[in-house]
Protein backbone atom coordinates (compact mmCIF):
# COMPACT_ATOMS: atom_id res chain seq x y z
CA UNK A 1 0.00 0.00 0.00
CA UNK A 2 1.17 3.51 -0.69
CA UNK A 3 0.95 5.85 2.30
CA UNK A 4 -2.05 8.18 2.62
CA UNK A 5 -1.14 11.52 1.10
CA UNK A 6 -1.17 14.65 3.14
CA UNK A 7 -1.63 18.05 1.61
CA UNK A 8 -1.69 20.72 4.20
CA UNK A 9 0.04 23.88 5.18
CA UNK A 10 3.44 23.28 6.70
CA UNK A 11 6.30 25.57 7.60
CA UNK A 12 9.68 25.30 5.88
CA UNK A 13 12.15 23.13 7.78
CA UNK A 14 15.90 23.63 7.56
CA UNK A 15 17.67 20.71 5.88
CA UNK A 16 21.34 20.16 5.16
CA UNK A 17 22.66 18.57 2.01
CA UNK A 18 24.51 15.37 2.89
CA UNK A 19 25.17 13.99 -0.60
CA UNK A 20 25.27 15.32 -4.15
CA UNK A 21 25.31 12.99 -7.17
CA UNK A 22 25.64 14.23 -10.75
CA UNK A 23 23.17 12.27 -12.93
CA UNK A 24 23.90 13.86 -16.33
CA UNK A 25 25.24 17.10 -17.80
CA UNK A 26 22.47 19.16 -16.23
CA UNK A 27 20.84 17.09 -13.50
CA UNK A 28 21.99 16.61 -9.92
CA UNK A 29 20.48 14.55 -7.07
CA UNK A 30 20.52 15.95 -3.54
CA UNK A 31 20.14 13.90 -0.36
CA UNK A 32 19.15 15.81 2.79
CA UNK A 33 19.50 15.09 6.51
CA UNK A 34 15.70 15.01 6.81
CA UNK A 35 13.12 12.21 6.45
CA UNK A 36 9.38 12.29 5.82
CA UNK A 37 8.40 8.61 6.24
CA UNK A 38 4.71 9.34 5.50
CA UNK A 39 5.46 10.93 2.13
CA UNK A 40 4.72 8.89 -0.99
CA UNK A 41 5.64 8.80 -4.68
CA UNK A 42 4.17 11.65 -6.71
CA UNK A 43 4.15 14.04 -3.78
CA UNK A 44 6.45 17.04 -3.89
CA UNK A 45 8.23 19.54 -1.67
CA UNK A 46 8.88 23.27 -1.95
CA UNK A 47 12.59 24.09 -1.76
CA UNK A 48 13.35 27.63 -0.58
CA UNK A 49 16.58 29.54 -1.01
CA UNK A 50 16.00 32.72 1.05
CA UNK A 51 16.39 35.87 -1.03
CA UNK A 52 15.98 33.95 -4.29
CA UNK A 53 12.79 31.90 -4.65
CA UNK A 54 10.86 28.80 -3.61
CA UNK A 55 10.21 26.05 -6.20
CA UNK A 56 8.46 22.64 -6.25
CA UNK A 57 10.39 19.40 -6.73
CA UNK A 58 9.08 15.83 -6.85
CA UNK A 59 10.31 13.46 -4.19
CA UNK A 60 12.80 10.88 -5.41
CA UNK A 61 12.89 9.32 -1.96
CA UNK A 62 11.31 10.05 1.43
CA UNK A 63 13.72 8.52 3.96
CA UNK A 64 16.11 10.26 3.65
CA UNK A 65 14.64 13.00 1.47
CA UNK A 66 16.04 13.13 -2.05
CA UNK A 67 15.26 15.32 -5.06
CA UNK A 68 16.78 15.56 -8.54
CA UNK A 69 17.15 19.01 -10.05
CA UNK A 70 17.72 19.84 -13.73
CA UNK A 71 19.53 23.16 -14.25
CA UNK A 72 17.27 25.13 -16.58
CA UNK A 73 16.92 28.59 -15.01
CA UNK A 74 17.86 30.90 -12.15
CA UNK A 75 16.69 28.83 -9.18
CA UNK A 76 17.76 25.43 -10.45
CA UNK A 77 21.21 26.72 -11.42
CA UNK A 78 21.65 28.41 -8.04
CA UNK A 79 20.69 25.34 -6.01
CA UNK A 80 23.22 23.34 -8.02
CA UNK A 81 25.94 25.71 -6.74
CA UNK A 82 25.40 24.45 -3.18
CA UNK A 83 27.81 22.02 -1.52
CA UNK A 84 27.43 19.23 1.04
CA UNK A 85 26.71 20.69 4.48
CA UNK A 86 24.91 23.76 3.12
CA UNK A 87 21.30 24.49 4.05
CA UNK A 88 18.04 24.54 2.07
CA UNK A 89 14.56 25.12 3.54
CA UNK A 90 12.07 22.40 2.64
CA UNK A 91 8.27 22.51 2.97
CA UNK A 92 6.03 19.47 2.56
CA UNK A 93 5.15 16.76 1.80
CA UNK A 94 2.62 18.37 -0.54
CA UNK A 95 0.00 17.21 -3.02
CA UNK A 96 -1.66 13.93 -3.87
CA UNK A 97 0.65 11.28 -5.28
CA UNK A 98 0.19 8.02 -7.15
CA UNK A 99 -2.28 5.39 -5.89
CA UNK A 100 -1.13 1.80 -6.10
CA UNK A 101 -3.30 -0.39 -8.31
CA UNK A 102 -3.10 -4.18 -8.44
CA UNK A 103 -1.33 -5.72 -11.43
CA UNK A 104 1.72 -4.80 -13.47
CA UNK A 105 3.17 -1.30 -13.56
CA UNK A 106 4.05 0.63 -16.70
CA UNK A 107 5.88 3.78 -15.64
CA UNK A 108 6.47 6.44 -18.28
CA UNK A 109 8.93 9.24 -17.63
CA UNK A 110 10.12 12.22 -19.61
CA UNK A 111 12.89 14.52 -18.34
CA UNK A 112 13.05 14.73 -14.54
CA UNK A 113 9.71 12.85 -14.47
CA UNK A 114 11.99 9.88 -13.77
CA UNK A 115 12.17 11.05 -10.17
CA UNK A 116 8.61 10.23 -8.93
CA UNK A 117 8.39 7.21 -11.26
CA UNK A 118 11.55 5.74 -9.72
CA UNK A 119 10.19 6.36 -6.22
CA UNK A 120 6.97 4.58 -7.27
CA UNK A 121 8.86 1.64 -8.79
CA UNK A 122 10.67 1.09 -5.48
CA UNK A 123 7.36 1.20 -3.57
CA UNK A 124 5.87 -1.36 -5.94
CA UNK A 125 8.93 -3.61 -5.79
CA UNK A 126 6.86 -6.74 -5.04
CA UNK A 127 4.88 -6.43 -8.27
CA UNK A 128 5.18 -9.31 -10.71
CA UNK A 129 6.06 -6.96 -13.57
CA UNK A 130 7.41 -3.43 -13.53
CA UNK A 131 8.33 -1.67 -16.77
CA UNK A 132 9.51 1.86 -17.32
CA UNK A 133 9.71 3.80 -20.56
CA UNK A 134 12.19 6.67 -20.37
CA UNK A 135 12.02 9.26 -23.12
CA UNK A 136 14.43 12.08 -23.90
CA UNK A 137 15.61 14.23 -26.76
CA UNK A 138 19.03 12.58 -27.07
CA UNK A 139 21.12 9.92 -25.28
CA UNK A 140 22.80 12.59 -23.13
CA UNK A 141 19.42 13.75 -21.80
CA UNK A 142 18.36 10.28 -20.61
CA UNK A 143 18.19 9.86 -16.85
CA UNK A 144 18.13 7.00 -14.35
CA UNK A 145 18.25 3.99 -16.74
CA UNK A 146 20.84 2.28 -14.51
CA UNK A 147 18.99 3.20 -11.31
CA UNK A 148 15.82 1.54 -12.65
CA UNK A 149 17.73 -1.57 -13.77
CA UNK A 150 19.39 -1.82 -10.36
CA UNK A 151 15.90 -1.74 -8.81
CA UNK A 152 14.86 -4.71 -10.99
CA UNK A 153 12.67 -2.69 -13.37
CA UNK A 154 12.58 -3.54 -17.10
CA UNK A 155 13.78 -0.45 -18.93
CA UNK A 156 12.68 0.71 -22.40
CA UNK A 157 14.49 3.74 -23.81
CA UNK A 158 13.52 6.08 -26.60
CA UNK A 159 15.07 9.26 -27.95
CA UNK A 160 13.88 11.77 -30.53
CA UNK A 161 17.07 11.30 -32.59
CA UNK A 162 17.52 7.55 -32.06
CA UNK A 163 20.88 8.06 -30.28
CA UNK A 164 19.74 5.61 -27.57
CA UNK A 165 16.92 3.07 -27.56
CA UNK A 166 14.15 3.33 -30.11
CA UNK A 167 13.81 6.45 -32.24
CA UNK A 168 10.66 8.38 -31.40
CA UNK A 169 8.45 9.37 -28.51
CA UNK A 170 7.31 7.24 -25.57
CA UNK A 171 4.25 5.93 -27.37
CA UNK A 172 6.54 3.90 -29.70
CA UNK A 173 7.61 1.36 -27.03
CA UNK A 174 4.30 1.83 -25.19
CA UNK A 175 1.98 0.34 -27.80
CA UNK A 176 3.45 -3.21 -27.78
CA UNK A 177 3.58 -3.15 -23.96
CA UNK A 178 -0.09 -2.22 -23.75
CA UNK A 179 -0.99 -5.03 -26.13
CA UNK A 180 1.01 -7.53 -24.07
CA UNK A 181 -0.26 -6.36 -20.66
CA UNK A 182 -3.97 -5.55 -20.76
CA UNK A 183 -4.16 -5.39 -16.95
CA UNK A 184 -1.22 -3.00 -16.46
CA UNK A 185 -1.68 0.44 -14.94
CA UNK A 186 0.04 3.43 -16.54
CA UNK A 187 1.76 5.89 -14.19
CA UNK A 188 3.41 8.83 -15.93
CA UNK A 189 5.26 12.06 -15.25
CA UNK A 190 6.79 14.34 -17.84
CA UNK A 191 6.18 17.29 -20.14
CA UNK A 192 2.58 18.33 -20.83
CA UNK A 193 2.50 17.22 -24.52
CA UNK A 194 3.65 13.74 -23.47
CA UNK A 195 0.93 13.49 -20.82
CA UNK A 196 -1.72 14.76 -23.23
CA UNK A 197 -0.73 12.10 -25.78
CA UNK A 198 -0.92 9.40 -23.09
CA UNK A 199 -4.31 10.63 -21.89
CA UNK A 200 -5.62 10.41 -25.48
CA UNK A 201 -4.34 6.83 -25.91
CA UNK A 202 -5.85 5.76 -22.59
CA UNK A 203 -9.19 7.41 -23.46
CA UNK A 204 -9.29 5.59 -26.81
CA UNK A 205 -8.50 2.24 -25.17
CA UNK A 206 -10.77 2.83 -22.13
CA UNK A 207 -7.78 2.35 -19.83
CA UNK A 208 -7.22 4.06 -16.54
CA UNK A 209 -4.04 6.03 -16.01
CA UNK A 210 -2.35 8.21 -13.41
CA UNK A 211 -0.66 11.32 -14.77
CA UNK A 212 1.50 13.73 -12.79
CA UNK A 213 1.19 17.23 -14.25
CA UNK A 214 3.78 19.95 -13.86
CA UNK A 215 2.28 23.43 -13.65
CA UNK A 216 3.73 26.70 -12.49
CA UNK A 217 2.92 27.03 -8.77
CA UNK A 218 3.62 29.39 -5.88
CA UNK A 219 2.06 28.38 -2.56
CA UNK A 220 1.84 24.60 -3.01
CA UNK A 221 -1.31 24.13 -0.92
CA UNK A 222 -4.25 25.54 -2.84
CA UNK A 223 -4.36 29.20 -1.83
CA UNK A 224 -2.74 31.25 -4.60
CA UNK A 225 -4.44 29.62 -7.61
CA UNK A 226 -1.31 29.87 -9.82
CA UNK A 227 -1.50 26.21 -10.83
CA UNK A 228 -5.27 26.12 -11.56
CA UNK A 229 -6.29 24.45 -14.82
CA UNK A 230 -8.23 26.98 -16.85
CA UNK A 231 -10.93 24.56 -18.04
CA UNK A 232 -12.08 23.22 -14.65
CA UNK A 233 -10.13 24.93 -11.86
CA UNK A 234 -8.28 21.69 -10.98
CA UNK A 235 -5.34 22.66 -8.76
CA UNK A 236 -2.12 20.82 -9.55
CA UNK A 237 -0.74 21.50 -6.07
CA UNK A 238 -3.71 20.33 -4.03
CA UNK A 239 -5.93 18.15 -6.24
CA UNK A 240 -2.77 16.76 -7.91
CA UNK A 241 -0.09 16.83 -9.11
CA UNK A 242 -1.20 13.28 -9.91
CA UNK A 243 -4.51 13.06 -11.75
CA UNK A 244 -6.24 9.70 -11.54
CA UNK A 245 -8.14 9.12 -14.78
CA UNK A 246 -10.48 6.12 -14.58
CA UNK A 247 -10.74 3.69 -17.52
C1 LIG B 1 4.87 19.43 -9.06
C2 LIG B 1 6.19 19.83 -9.68
C3 LIG B 1 7.28 18.98 -9.54
C4 LIG B 1 8.51 19.35 -10.09
N5 LIG B 1 9.55 18.50 -9.94
C6 LIG B 1 10.76 18.81 -10.44
C7 LIG B 1 11.86 17.92 -10.26
O8 LIG B 1 11.74 16.84 -9.68
N9 LIG B 1 13.06 18.31 -10.80
C10 LIG B 1 13.22 19.49 -11.48
O11 LIG B 1 14.34 19.78 -11.93
N12 LIG B 1 12.19 20.36 -11.62
C13 LIG B 1 10.98 20.05 -11.13
N14 LIG B 1 9.93 20.93 -11.28
C15 LIG B 1 10.19 22.23 -11.94
C16 LIG B 1 10.80 23.21 -10.94
O17 LIG B 1 9.86 23.53 -9.95
C18 LIG B 1 11.22 24.54 -11.58
O19 LIG B 1 10.20 25.01 -12.40
C20 LIG B 1 12.48 24.35 -12.42
O21 LIG B 1 13.54 24.00 -11.55
C22 LIG B 1 12.85 25.66 -13.17
O23 LIG B 1 12.96 26.72 -12.25
P24 LIG B 1 14.06 27.88 -12.52
O25 LIG B 1 13.72 29.00 -11.62
O26 LIG B 1 15.43 27.30 -12.44
O27 LIG B 1 13.84 28.26 -14.02
P28 LIG B 1 12.75 29.26 -14.62
O29 LIG B 1 13.24 30.64 -14.50
O30 LIG B 1 11.41 28.93 -14.07
O31 LIG B 1 12.82 28.81 -16.11
C32 LIG B 1 13.94 29.19 -16.91
C33 LIG B 1 13.71 28.78 -18.33
O34 LIG B 1 13.75 27.36 -18.43
C35 LIG B 1 12.57 26.86 -19.01
N36 LIG B 1 12.29 25.60 -18.36
C37 LIG B 1 11.63 25.41 -17.19
N38 LIG B 1 11.58 24.11 -16.93
C39 LIG B 1 12.20 23.47 -17.94
C40 LIG B 1 12.48 22.12 -18.26
N41 LIG B 1 12.06 21.13 -17.50
N42 LIG B 1 13.18 21.82 -19.39
C43 LIG B 1 13.60 22.78 -20.20
N44 LIG B 1 13.36 24.09 -19.97
C45 LIG B 1 12.67 24.43 -18.87
C46 LIG B 1 11.52 27.92 -18.75
O47 LIG B 1 10.50 27.83 -19.72
C48 LIG B 1 12.32 29.19 -18.86
O49 LIG B 1 12.47 29.56 -20.19
C50 LIG B 1 8.67 20.59 -10.78
C51 LIG B 1 7.56 21.42 -10.91
C52 LIG B 1 6.33 21.05 -10.39
C53 LIG B 1 5.16 21.97 -10.54
How far is residue 46's CA from residue 34's CA, in Å, rounded to a whole number?
Answer: 14
Which domains, ranges and CATH numbers included, belong to the chain? 13-94 (2.40.30.10), 105-245 (3.40.50.80)
- Looking from the CA of residue 214, the nearest atom of ligand 1 is 53
Q: pLDDT tens, position by position, for the chain (247 residues)? A: 455 454 466 899 999 999 999 999 999 999 999 999 999 999 999 999 999 999 999 999 999 999 999 999 999 999 999 999 999 999 999 999 999 998 899 999 998 899 999 999 999 998 889 999 999 999 999 999 999 999 999 999 999 999 999 999 999 999 999 999 989 999 999 999 999 999 999 999 999 999 999 888 888 888 888 889 888 999 998 999 999 998 8
Q: How many C-alpha atoms does 237 have within 13 Å on its Cβ side? A: 22
Question: To test ligand 1's pocket by mutation, which of 55, 120, 195, 226 has the most ligand atoms within 8 angstroms of CB?
Answer: 55
Report pTM: 0.94
Contact 2, 41 (CB under 8 A): yes
- Looking from the CA of residue 78, the nearest atom of ligand 1 is 26
* Distance in Å, CA 104 to ligand 1 centroid: 30
Protein residues with CB under 6 Å of any ligand 1 atom: 44, 55-58, 67-70, 72-76, 111-112, 115, 214-215, 217, 241
How far is residue 171's CA from residue 135's CA, in Å, rounded to a whole number?
Answer: 9
Of 149, 146, 101, residue with least CA distance to 123? 101
Contact 3, 39 (CB under 8 A): yes
Amino acid sequence: MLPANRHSFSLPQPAHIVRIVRENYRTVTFTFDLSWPDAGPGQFLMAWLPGLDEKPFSLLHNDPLQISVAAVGRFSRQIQQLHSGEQVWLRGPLGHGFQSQPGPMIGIAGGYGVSPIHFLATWLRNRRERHVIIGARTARDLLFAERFRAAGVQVHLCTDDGSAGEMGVVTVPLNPLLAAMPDATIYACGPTPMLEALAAICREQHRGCQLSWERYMRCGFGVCGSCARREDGWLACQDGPVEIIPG
